[in-house]
Structure formats: C-alpha cells, structure tokens
A and B are shown apart, each in its own frame.
Chain A
C-alpha cells in the first residue's frame, strides 16, 4: 500500500485533503499502467482523471482498505477498456494513429536518449501492438496486465473477481494466439531476408 489505512479511511469519510494524498500517491503508478494498456500517451492523463473521478464517487463503497489496490486496478482496467471501446467506435484511421503515436512516443522518449534506441523502442511497440491486435480488447488488457505489468494470477483474480483457473485458460489461449502471430511474423521476416 502506498498510503496508510487511516488516510484511506479519512478519504472514505469525505476528507478532501486525504483524497488528494491518495491521488498523489497512486497517480504515477496508475498513469504508467494506463499508458501501457491504451498505448496513446496523449490520452493517458484524461483516462487517469476518469479513474480518480470514479474513485472519488465510489470510495464509500469500499468495505475494507485491504482490497483497495485491486479495486483501484479494476477501476483502471474498466476506464481503459471504456476508452479503447470509444476509440474503436470513433473508427479513426489506424495509419493516422500510428504516425501520431510515433511522434508522441518520440517526443516522450526524447531527452538524452539516442535516436537508434528510440527507433528500436518504437519498433518493439509497433510489433507487440500488431501481435496483440489479433486478440479482443479484453484479452489484450488481460495479457498486458500479466505479461507487461507483471501482475500475478492471484492479483488478477482479485481484480477480475474470476477464478484463477478460468483466468489461466483465458491467458493461455490469448498467449497462444499471440505466439502464433509472432511465429507467422518471424517466418515472413525470414522469407523477406532470403529474397
């Protein structure tokens, strides 16, 4: 826990200063998770604000402070998923997105890093995003939480309120699909180099 139980309880009872402290303690972590889940740096702050807005209006429903972190993660996952769903509805051009993302990534990564490193990072991101594109948005988020965020199955169980075995099956299937797409992309790459 990044905040004391007492602070959380004060925030629950309507203490705005305590809520401020909770936001400040978790803001960086939540924004990092959102950035990896939605993949659009320019919208991370808006989604994070939505998470904390939902937190403010539902904090009184939290029964025990022990479950606060999984609960906050659940709010984050839901807000990210809502964002991705809205994005899909907007039906924006994927190519435009990628170029905009590339610019944002380059801007964000700027500051001392070498150009080649940035290029490599962009390549990694684009490759994994295209591999994850073979999955549904729900499975993309689940797999990212496990593989990129490094959450354990126990933690995922608390966030999703789903039995561990069901999560294991879902994760295994998602990973197999990504692996298949990865194998196909590697084959394509090797055939390109042969030509």
Chain B
C-alpha cells in the first residue's frame, strides 16, 4: 500500500507537469476591461432605473393624495357621530331643553 501511496504522489507531481502553463492572449486585458465597463454601465443603468422608479412612485403617491383628498373631506352637515346628529335633529328633547335632572330630587327618591 505504501508503494501505491508513493506512486499516487508521483502521479500528482507528474500531473502538474502534464498541464502546460497557459499563456494569456494579447487581448486578455482589453477583454477584461470591456467586461468591467459593460458590467459597470449595467450597474449604472440599473441604479438610474431604480432611482427613476422611486421618483415615479413618489410622484404617483403625491398626485393620488392630492386627487383623493377632496373626496375624503366630509360635508360639515355629515360630520360628527350618529349621537350628535340625533341630538341635533331632536334639539327640543335634549337634557338641556328639559332643564336637566335635579340631583337633590334623585337623592330624596333613593332615601325613600
């Protein structure tokens, strides 16, 4: 097994020698810079597009809030709760109209 190990080691060493050291072609650097520039411009375009998308979304939000706002402004007659509206409709039947309840009378009634 040891001899097999040694043979395998020498096979690994021979493998390194069996693969020739590749030489870069003359257009290696221009091609690399071309790729860098292409990616750079792609990233730049993507950044610009995303900025544009964000700006458009903001404008749409602003515009829609301006357009929708008048509709959400309620008629003063409709403003207020249901109880307020009832009170307004039957103003003569309210506590204020009947003069309120006297507390001393209520106390006397409870003592009896």
Query: Do A and B belong to a common assembly?
Result: yes
A residues apposed to B, CB below 8 Å: 20, 23-24, 27-28, 31-32, 34-36, 39, 41, 44-45, 48-49, 52-53, 56-57, 105, 108-109, 121-122, 124-125, 127-128, 131, 147-149, 175, 178-179, 182-183, 186
The chain B residue with its CB closest to the CB of A49 is: B32
Residues of A contacting B: mostly: helix
**CB–CB B21/A32 < 8 A:** yes
Other-chain contact of A182, B4, B17, B19 (Cβ < 8 Å): B4
**CB–CB A28/B24 < 8 A:** yes
Q: Can you list 26 contacts pairing A with B, beta carbon distance less than 8 Å?
A: A23-B29, A27-B24, A32-B22, A35-B19, A35-B21, A36-B16, A39-B19, A44-B22, A45-B22, A48-B24, A49-B28, A52-B32, A53-B39, A105-B19, A108-B22, A109-B20, A121-B17, A121-B18, A122-B18, A125-B18, A147-B12, A148-B12, A178-B8, A182-B4, A182-B7, A182-B8
**Is B35 an interface residue, CB under 8 A from the partner?**
yes
**CB–CB B18/A20 < 8 A:** no
Report B-chain residues with C-beta under 8 Å of the C-beta of A183: 4
**CB–CB B36/A125 < 8 A:** no
Count B interface residues, CB 8 Å: 26
| Bound CA span A138–B59, Å | 51
**CB–CB B20/A179 < 8 A:** no
**Is B14 an interface residue, CB under 8 A from the partner?**
yes
Other-chain contact of B28, A27, A35, A39, A109 (Cβ < 8 Å): A27
Which residues B1-38 have CB closer than 8 A to chain A? 1, 4-5, 7-9, 11-12, 14-22, 24-25, 28-29, 31-32, 35-36
